[in-house]
Amino acid sequence: MPLHLHLIVGLTLITGSPASTDPLSANQMHPNAPAQTAQFAFLIGDWECAAESLTPDGKQSFSSRGFWSGRWVIGGWAIQDHWYSLGPAGVAGWGTNLRWWNQELGRWENQWLQNGASQLSHFYADQVGDEMVMIGGAGDSAFGPFIDRNSFYDIGEHSWRWRKDRSFDQGQSWVSEVSTMHCQRR
């Protein structure tokens, strides 16, 4: 198993609770971490989410609900968040993200692993105005290869919104709002 997969799988076992004595978990950002590390700190905590998504053919939408939980990991140098959703007919989906500020690149990197996936999805992220915008996650669909643009916006202390746009031409054009979500602190 590749080293980065070992890291993500291993981190999914860390609770990140304030009482944890695990040296990898933390209850706050590390004081020596780059200031940009705070840009994704709004994800820290437990969230209930209501989502609307388009069917793969883009002709219908369906509602689902989900739960998002974010924690400081690697001693407060990175954020790991877990996602669990209940879709149509009670079909469940789950996954985990590991997010860190890459000082050399001057931007965020993100690895996403979801149930049933055989590989990690890689994203880069930047703060654009008041939004955190992630691009990547290359995949394949009935309509051909795609990349996603996931944006977090309307970020507040007790809620935030998320939007997935999808491109089938390497980012030249985007299908807007393939999925949207509104999350509120539990």
Amino acid at 22: D
**CB under 8 Å to 35, separation ≥6 — which residues?**
none
pTM beyond 0.95: the answer is: no
Contact 145, 8 (CB under 8 A): no
pLDDT over 90 (residue 142): no
Whether 10 shows a pLDDT value over 50: the answer reads no
Closest by Cα among 182, 83, 172, 104 to 135: 172
Share of the chain above pLDDT 90, in %: 65
The rounded percent of the chain whose pLDDT value lies above 70 is 85
Whether 3 shows a pLDDT value over 90: the answer reads no
- State the pLDDT at residue 13: 38
CATH number at residue 81: 2.40.128.20
Q: Are 97 and 120 within 8 A, CB to CB?
A: no
Question: Which tens digits make up the pLDDT trace of 51-99?
Answer: 998 876 677 778 889 999 999 999 999 999 999 998 777 778 899 999 9
Integer Rg of the chain from CA: 16
Residue 93: C-alpha distances to residues 84, 96, 183 (Å) = 6, 11, 17
Where is pLDDT greater, at 133 or 16?
133
Q: Is the CB of residue 165 less than 8 Å from the CB of residue 135?
A: no
Which residue do the tokens 């200031």 mark? Answer: 35
pLDDT in tens, 90-136: 778 899 999 999 999 999 999 999 988 778 999 999 999 999 999 99
List the one residue out of 145, 175, 146, 173 whose CA is nearest residue 163: 175
Nearest to 112 by CA among 2, 26, 4: 4
| pLDDT on residue 29 | 95
User: Tokens 């978990």 — which residue?
Assistant: 25
Q: Give the number of domains in the chain.
A: 1
Range of the domain at 54: 3-185
3-state secondary structure of 183: strand
What's the pLDDT score for residue 26?
80
pLDDT at position 116 is 81
